[in-house]
Amino acid sequence: MSKFNFEILGKDVKSDARAGVIHTVHGDIKTPSFVPVGTQATVKSMSNEDLQEIGVQVFFVNTYHLYLRPGLEAIEKGNGLHSFIGWGKPLMTDSAGFQIFSLGDVNRQRKLCLQGDPLEIPLVKISEEGVKFRSHLDGSEHLFTPEKSIEVQRILGADIMIAFDECCYYPATHDYAKKAMERTHRWALRCLERSSKFHLEEIPQGGQVQSSKLGKSPQALYGVVQGGVFEDLRKESAKFISNLPFEGVAIGGVAVGESKKEMEKVLDWVVPLLPKEKPRHLLGVGEIDDIFTLVEKGIDSFDCVMPTRLGRMGHLLVRKVENREWKLDITK
């Protein structure tokens, strides 16, 4: 069984851009790579055949939604997520953290309660243990801890998992951003500890992850850098996460209301401190004008819902043609 590995094939001499390959048991991901989002294990309005036809190498699925519906039992019976959805290429799963923190009117409530610790809002309660939340489907109460997040992602069987983190919304005070970052660091250690225990257990047959036989797996785990829009916190988080034995690094807490200039500053602070030999993923960013900036700054992969959302809403992305000769041309 092949293990997760990242290979750098080339670097740009005028920027931090680089080309590489992420090797996984379900195939290779050539980087830099845009990762479409399939929230409930399907990219909306597109079939698996559509995705393969346009060259999609990997897509991002949401742990929170799959945990609630169809549920882990159904996915286990389907022999893991790849088999369940009929997708033979790599998959990424998030930690469920962002969606949990986004429940209800969380963003507005957080702006009013930034100093609270633990923060309590109608649908969510954050504590050191983890996050208690109520399902948006039926109101049932659930507890997600760092350990639970890893266990769920292991059962889903994605090639790349994301460590459980506390997403710091914008605008947060420095004090709250620091508390959220420090909690993210403690949760990162717990994620690693839970993940490492799987390696001591029986190796499952056929490479399938079974809840009763969770064993050594080629699944990779990315740690998450947080810290809001504060330089000192971002650098501290980048150094902390970089020193842990994660297979890759994800940059979180962006695309949550800050300006694009602020996002670019975050990358300028963080990327130089990340291990060059590990892949870097930027969570939740991928508009057309962003992609060039992200690649130039050394990001290897990035996910976003924007392309399929625009398509479903009837938008068409075209080149800006300024030559008046083509003003009335409707052939293309």
| Total count of residues recorded for the chain | 332
Of 12, 94, 232, 329, the catalytic one is 94
Of 232, 268, 303, 329, the catalytic one is 303
Peptide bond into 279 cis (omega under 30): no
Are 241 and 249 contacting, i.e. CB atoms less than 8 angstroms apart? yes
- Each residue of 176-212: b (16+ CB within 10 Å) or e? bbbbbbbbbbebbebbbebbeebeeeeebeebebbee
164: which 2 tokens?
A: 């459980």
DSSP state of 203: P
228: which 2 tokens?
A: 């809001």
Are 33 and 312 contacting, i.e. CB atoms less than 8 angstroms apart? no
Are 250 and 223 contacting, i.e. CB atoms less than 8 angstroms apart? yes
Are 117 and 179 contacting, i.e. CB atoms less than 8 angstroms apart? yes
Residues 116, 106: Cα–Cα separation, whole Å: 13
- 303 belongs to the catalytic site: yes
Catalytic residues: 94, 303
